[in-house]
Each structure stands twice: as structure tokens, then as C-alpha cells.
Amino acid sequence: PGTFKMAECGASGGGSSGDSLDKSITLSRREGLQASFHPPGLNFAWFVSPLTGGSLTKLAYYSTVQHKVAKVRSFDHSGKDAEHDHEPPYEISVQEEITARLHFIKFENTYIEACLDFIKDHLVNTETKVIQATGGGAYKFKDLIEEKLRLRVAKQDVMTCLIKGCNFVLKNIPQEAFVYQKDSDPEFRFQTNHPDIFPYLLVNIGSGVSIVKVETEDRFEWVGGSSIGGGTFWGLGALLTRTKKFDELLHLASKGQHTNVDMLVQDIYGGAHQTLGLSGNLIASSFGKSATADKEFSKEDMAKSLLHMISNDIGQLACLHAKLHGLGRVYFGGFFIRGHPVTMRTITYSINFFSKGEVQALFLRHEGYLGAIGAFLKGAEQDNPNQYSWGENYAGSSGLMSTAPELGPTQRARSGTFDLLEMDRLERPLVNLPLLLDPSSYVPDTVDLTDDALARKYWLTCFEEALDGVVKRAVASQPDAADAAERAEKFRQKYWNKLQTLRQQPFAYGTLTVRSLLDTREHCLNEFNFPDPYSKVKQKENGAALKCFPGVTRALDSLGWEQRQLALVKGLLAGNVFDWGAKAVSDVLESDPQFGFEEAKRKLQERPWLVDSYSKWLQRLKGPPHKCALIFADNSGVDIILGVFPFVRELLFRGTEVILACNSGPALNDVTHSEALIVAERIAAMDPVVHSALRGERLLLVQTGSSSPCLDLSRLDKGLAVLVRERGADLVVIEGMGRAVHTNYHAALRCESLKLAVIKNAWLAERLGGRLFSVIFKYEVPAE
């Protein structure tokens, strides 16, 4: 089991795909990498666009990825007083784990032989009998495929495949859909996917136009179409301009001025038509001037006029069908779109004009893959891929309008591959937090860096400057690995390249946010087998904090009720200072090993805090206890043990049940679910309140389904969501800068919520009107 990549440097496990065509599409056996397959006939799928001059083939295939994970296991402390032992609270072992990955690659058909050789050598095993294929290429290349691969081609219905593919990306890639805004910078505006994607209208513009109403996963209906589509643009364009290539025709259109050819309203009426409310610059007659003007028209102008004519016609048709069926979301796809700005601009204008803004034209980042994804899913139905949630692997995917900058021009030219997408299967299904007030309007991220140029420049620079420290930490986490430094250097190059891509194309992976920058870094670390660079740091800090726990709780118990409530909150905040992801903190922790809980308290801003709802919270505590509190924990060590657990203990003492949610996988020094389980058992051995609550299931530890330093409340572990419903959670506590400031600061919930954090970044603190170590304590009660 392993992974392989085509034409992309840095395969999982530290392997490189090299500089030559042979290396870029060949599995390196000496690196122990080999493919793993679906059952017979289900290992890959094939899609060739029906009308692009046979120029593009999309290949979808499945592999298993073997990578390292850091596992924690409690020591056997029977018969010993563990609190006084010098050994750590648990042991860490690095194990191999296998996960599933879907790969999607586009080939230029110039390299069809290389593509078939790759499939033959690496994706076909002795049990493989069938290849799933769809699109025009399923017919065009059928004989070649069957002869070369000795496989039977199973042709799948194009429209069924497109819809299956569209459903898949909309459900699994939150930033998949975007609107195109001509005069914005950047021009892409991404939409956070509605949890219920149905119903919607899919307008597929190929040779002609097909309009399909999609109502459920398996129910859709062809509701209309037109013979005037992409083929019309290409055919008439070729006759008008003598240009045979589709992309060249679009290039001509992008340089043209349609008003030289089209007759406008003002050409007929001398200005706007006031009675009908039509502005003077609207097209009254496409190509209208060519009938009367005694002159030659440029190819560029004719191509532009033709593009407007066809796009406006399609836009009006789509708008009418959307209104007829009461649908506000219309997704456009097909070879006519292919991410071309001039096409998206004209369709968007047409939809806006004819619907008066009521219908939205939406485009898809991975529109070109829909057919291949659908064909793959169709072939893999017995494995039911839809029962899982999938996540985009930023480390192995090239972004929108990107040609994968890590590939050199020579490599691209020789391999003929470009535009890669990788999707990793997640362990468990992800769903919305049931306590979101309005899931359809929920946006996790507080600041859109795609929009905010100043913030974008700052954070990209910030992540660049932090890279040396991350590399150093990664190497230090694997002292016994001879190749750690080499792999860390490959990680550096990969992540650096991603950052440079995002400087030029901030929209490459959807809306650019601090969360996406952090997640991309984690993906790149995993790609080069650095699963948990902070595992030893967390182990040491957890051990030290556990020794302090009895003293902290004794001090709290000696206080009067009101004093104790403030001390508990200050303890939560002081614990949150211990964040290795913040440079201001990591510098202190590395230079002063004695920096501890009390020192962190002294760092905190004095009240009144930057955001201060504490008095309102205190008043609420004088009322009846909450039924159940859901707490999203942040960091290991002092944070979880001396900050969160005393707070949990107080809630339990009041009669409130507690669900403590921690990351499923590692990110920075954030506490993971498996670490929290051990920490909780150790605390229970010292504290009867926690012990009783754990045994009586009034304190429940669950995983979030996330491996991110931030928090997306629309993609949480299904088990957590079920528990929240069953226990009737009526208080949500979100702590930490990543979870409560970078994300969820504006999240509206159905129940009471506490969002608290210490701002450990001077630039961000100043932007919020405070200083370094300013405090956010935001208590919110939903409107009646």
C-alpha cells in the first residue's frame, strides 16, 4: 500500500516523482510505492470531453495512502502513585495507517498513449475487467482503449455522470461554487455550500445546451435545452474568423469590441428607451450593424459579438427555467465554460439582467471533473463512496486557474498532465452542528483574505516567516529518522510554492482565509510524513500540567463563589496563552522554559477586556444551571488541564452535563481526542467530581472530526451532532484564537454561547483595537 502521483514532485512518504516523463508517471518500486485497487473493474474511470477537438481526457482513480500517524497510549500505573513518577503521562508510538484517496487528473489528448501506458502499468491488475467511460471519448477512443488495455469499455450516460459528479463536489468541497464578478478584485466570489444542496438547476453547455432539474441524489429531470450552444459558437466562429481552435476563438473574443458589430438600443433610439426602461447600451440586435455597414469587421469583434449572442440566449433560457421551477441556484458547466472569464462574465450578466438579480449564476471550481467523478462513482456503487465524507487534499491539488507551479514547464510539456485534484476519505461522516441558528447562512471564517488585500499580504508574509520554525520543529520531532531533514526541506518547498501561488491567485482553493492557510500547511506536513510535529511537546506539557492540577483546584475551592467564577475564567484565558502556533508565545516558551500558568495570568489584559461580557455571564450563573454544555477545547497542556478542566469541574458541580470536543487528528499543539481521554483519566484519579462524572457519563469526551487549528461548525463528526441532540445542549463554549476569532466570531447559535480567546498576534490585536494579549470574552444569548 502506498500512493503515487503523476507529474507532481513529492509523493507521500517523501518520495519525489522526479524530473522526467518516465519518473513523473511511473511508480517507484524501490520507494515501496504501489497501487491499491477497488474490486474488479472499479479502480478507475475515464472521461473525454465530447466536443473539444478531443483535446482533454479526465482520469479518475482510487488508491490507498500509507502514512505515519502518532498514537498515544496510557502507561499501566497499577500499584503506583503516577503523580509523583518522573515518566510522561503516556507513551507515543508512530504507526502506519492506510487511508483512501481519490485522484483526478486531466490529460491533453496529444499524450493519449502516455495516459494509456500509465493506466496499463499502474491501474490495471489481473482482476480488472472493465473500465468505466463517459463523454464523446467513450466512443471515439473505445477501440484504442480496448486494444491497448485489454479491457471492456463500459459506457456510462454522460448526464447521469455529470449530475453524480456535481452532487459529490457540492457536498464535499465547501468552497466549490462561485459567482463571477467582472469588476471585483479578485473576480471570483465563493459561496459556502448550503447543507442541503437540492434542488438546483444544472445547465450543461456542450455542443448544445441541456437544462436539468436536480431534486435528490438519484432523481433528476431534463426540463429543457437548446441547439444553440458551444458547438454553435465554435461552428459559426470558425466560418466567420477561419479560426478552427476553440480556445483561439475565445482569445479573439476577449480582445474584441462587440459594439462595432452589434446594434444597440441607442443606435435605434438615440439613447435609452424610457418607456420600456431599457438603457442605451443594451444590445438590440446581435450583428445588426453588419447588414448596413459597408466595411470589413475584425475577427475579434465578430467573435465577441457571437459570444455575447449565444451567452445571452443561454442565460435567458436558464433564467426562464429557473423561474418556472422556482429555483434560485443555477450551476453552469460544460466545455463552453471551462473557467474562461469572458464566458462567465457574459453568462452572469445575462442571468442578472433577465432575472433582475433573483437568480444567481454559479460556476464550479472543478467543473471539468464532473463527468469523470460521476463515472467513477457509478462504477464504485457497490462500495457506496457517498456514505463517507471526503476532503480536498490541498497538498496534492492544483488550484483554480492554476497550472500547478511546482511543475516545471519542461515537465508539463513532456507529461501532458495538468490540473490535479485529490480527495481524501475521512474516517466518519461530517454534518452540521444542530445548534447553528441558520446553517444556510453560516460562514465559518471571520475575515475573507481574498477580499482584504492588506490582511492577505500580512498573513501570507506571516506564514512565510514562520516556515523556518515549522521546518525546525518537524525535524526535531523525529530525531531517529535519518531522512527527516530531507523530507522537511521538501515540505518547505511545497508549502512555499503554495504560498506563492496564493499571492498571485488568492482564489485558487476557494475563499482564502487564515484557516485555509493553516490547513494547507497541515496537509503539506502530512504529505511528507510529519503527522504530529508537536507530539513530544504536548506529552511534556501535559505531564507538567497534570502535576499542577491538584494545587490549582485546591486554590479555586478556597475562594468565595463570585471570586471563583472570575478565577475560573482567568484560568481559561491564561491557559489559552499556551499556543505554539502564535510566534509571540512560541518565542517566550522557547526562551523561558519556566514560563507557566501564573506568568500567563500576568500577561493578560486587565478588565475591562477588549470584548467584555463577563458581568452578563456572571449574572447568568446566578440563575439555574445549564442542562448540557458543549465545549470545544484548544491547546494541550496548561490550556486543557489547568484552564478547561477546572471550568468543566465547576459546571459539573452546578449540575450541568458536559460534552468536551477535541480534534480527531493533530494540528499544532492542539489537544487531540485520544490525548484528552488519557488526560481525563489521570484527572479523574485525582478528582472525585471528574471521576464521578466520567463514570456516570455526565462528562463525555468526543471527537470533532477535524484536524485543523480552526473550527468549521458545518463539518463536524456525526456522532458529536447526535450527542448534542440527545443531551439537549444549551450552552456552547468555543475557546482559542483559531476557533473563536479566526473562525466563528460571528457565528449565530440557537443557544447561549461563550467565545473566548487571548489575542496573541500584535497585528491582529491592533486591528481589533487592542494590544498583544488583549482578551475576547463574548457571551451571547440568542434573541427570543
- What CA–CA distance (Å, rounded) separates 135 from 207? 12
CA distances from 16 to 36, 674, 733 (A): 19, 32, 44
Question: Closest Cα partner for 10 from 474, 493, 417?
Answer: 493
Cell reading at 39: 474490486
- What CA–CA distance (Å, rounded) separates 205 from 145? 27
The pLDDT score that the predictor gives to residue 293 is 83
The pLDDT score that the predictor gives to residue 335 is 81
The pLDDT score that the predictor gives to residue 21 is 23
The pLDDT score that the predictor gives to residue 341 is 85
The pLDDT score that the predictor gives to residue 431 is 94
| In the chain, domain spans | 34-74+87-172+371-427, 177-261+297-364, 453-528, 536-780
| DSSP-assigned letters across all residues of 339-382 | T-HHHHHHHHHHHHHHHTTSSEEEEETTGGGHHHHHHHHHHTGG
- What CA–CA distance (Å, rounded) separates 455 from 642? 33
CATH number corresponding to 177-261+297-364: 3.30.420.40
The pLDDT score that the predictor gives to residue 3 is 31
Query: Which residues have CB under 8 Å from 688's CB, separation 6+?
Result: none
- What CA–CA distance (Å, rounded) separates 591 from 602? 18
142-149 and 112-122 helices, crossing angle to 10°: 40
The pLDDT score that the predictor gives to residue 445 is 97
**Residue carrying the nine cell digits 455526565:** 698
Beta pairing, strands 417-425 & 90-108: antiparallel
Sheet containing 44-48, strands listed edge to edge, beginning at the edge strand earlier in sequence: 152-155, 130-135, 44-48, 56-74, 90-108, 417-425, 390-392
Instruction: Output phi, psi for 69, to 5 deg.
Output: -135, 145
Distance of CA 489 to the CA centre of its chain: 25
CA distances from 635 to 323, 446, 663, 693 (A): 50, 21, 10, 22
Beta pairing, strands 430-431 & 130-135: unpaired
> Is 584 exposed, middle or buried, given 0-12, 13-18 or 19+ CB atoms closer than 10 A?
middle
- Positions of the chain with pLDDT lower than 50, given as ranges: 1-43, 46-54, 78-83, 402-418
User: Same CATH fold, 177-261+297-364 and 34-74+87-172+371-427?
Assistant: yes
Query: Which residues have CB under 8 Å from 515's CB, separation 6+?
Result: 444, 445, 708, 709, 710, 712, 738, 742, 743
The pLDDT score that the predictor gives to residue 316 is 95
What are 371-381's pLDDT values in tens digits?
Answer: 888 888 887 77
Asked if CATH classification 1.20.1700.10 holds for the domain at 453-528, the reply, yes or no, is: yes
3-state DSSP of 440-459: HHCCCECCCCCCCHHHHHHH
Let me know the angle formed at the C-alpha of 349 by 346 and 352, rounded to the nearest 5 degrees: 150
The pLDDT score that the predictor gives to residue 420 is 84
> Is 488 exposed, middle or buried, given 0-12, 13-18 or 19+ CB atoms closer than 10 A?
buried
3-state DSSP of 373-400: HHHHHHHCHHHCHHHCCEEECHHHCCCC
Cell reading at 717: 463528526
- What CA–CA distance (Å, rounded) separates 655 from 780? 21
Q: Is the backbone of residue 234 left (phi > 0), alpha (psi -120 to 50) or beta?
A: alpha
Q: Which residues pair with 180 in a beta bridge?
A: 188
Question: Closest Cα partner for 628 from 553, 546, 729, 699?
Answer: 729
Q: Is the backbone of residue 251 left (phi > 0), alpha (psi -120 to 50) or beta?
A: alpha
299-324 and 230-241 helices, crossing angle to 10°: 160
- What CA–CA distance (Å, rounded) separates 68 from 665? 12
Backbone CA torsion sign across 477, 478, 479, 482: negative
CATH number of this structure's domain 34-74+87-172+371-427, picked from the four choices 3.40.390, 3.40.50, 3.30.70, 3.30.420:
3.30.420
Domain 536-780 CATH superfamily? Uncharacterised protein PF01937, DUF89, domain 3 (3.40.50.10880)
Q: Which residues pair with 663 in a beta bridge?
A: 672
Let me know the angle formed at the C-alpha of 100 by 496 and 70, rounded to the nearest 5 degrees: 65
